[in-house]
Amino acid sequence: MRRKLIAIVVVVLVALAGIFYVALKDTKQNVSASEPYASLIGKTLIVERQAVLARNLPQFKMFEDNFISEEANLYEGVEKIRTIKPGTSFAFTNAFHYRNAVSGVTHSVLIGKIMDQQSPVSFEYSWGSLHSICIEEPCDYWTFPLGFWQRTPDDRKYMINHDD
């Protein structure tokens, strides 16, 4: 009887550990083939508005050691690497939806490489807002603000494919 009780306790603990692992792990979904990302991936793009390349703090890093920001004032402790001037060429290589397990917030992240006179540098760029709280239809869609490479904003709503 005692062995049976120990076995049940062990099974329950392993099941609970598995549930917590699944519930509390970060998820990364490659969305490079979905729009609007597919029309950007692998193409040489040109910076339209000045941006800043900075080193990611470990607690904020999702994919790459560096990120691009359009904000001139970076948060405290962030090391600015250089200013990315209009006319600089770069390319996006991948796009991901990254869900943080702790907060449950989903980020749209583009991974890219700057290709200027200096050595190529990889970066990540957070782009887009997920509208998942539904007050009125449509629900569960992404919108994308004007990116540092765009001349005109994209006002479309990109619906989430729940089959993924």
Beta bridge pairs of residue 41: 92
Side-chain-side CA neighbours of 22 within 13 Å: the count stands at 6
Strands (E), 88-164: 89-99, 106-114, 121-126, 129-131, 141-144, 154-159
Alpha-carbon span 75 to 144, nearest angstrom: 22
For the chain, the domains span 26-159
Per the model's pLDDT, the better-predicted residue between 131 and 95 turns out to be 95
Confidence check: pLDDT of 163 > 60: no
Cβ atoms of 56 and 67 within 8 Å: the answer is yes
Mean pLDDT over 99-125 rounds to 84
Instruction: Label residue 164 by pLDDT band (50, 70, 90).
Output: very low
33 vs 119 pLDDT, higher one: 33
pLDDT of 51 higher than 80: yes
pLDDT of residue 137: 74
Average pLDDT, the chain: 84
Judge contact between 131 and 140, C-beta under 8 A.
yes
**Residue 148 β-bridge partners:** none
Run of H or E including 6: helix 2-23
Which pair of structure tokens corresponds to residue 135?
């007050």
- Identify the pLDDT of residue 23: 55
Q: Average pLDDT for residues 119-137, to the nearest whole number?
A: 86
Confidence of residue 22 (pLDDT cuts 50, 70, 90): low
Average pLDDT, integer, range 99-107: 74
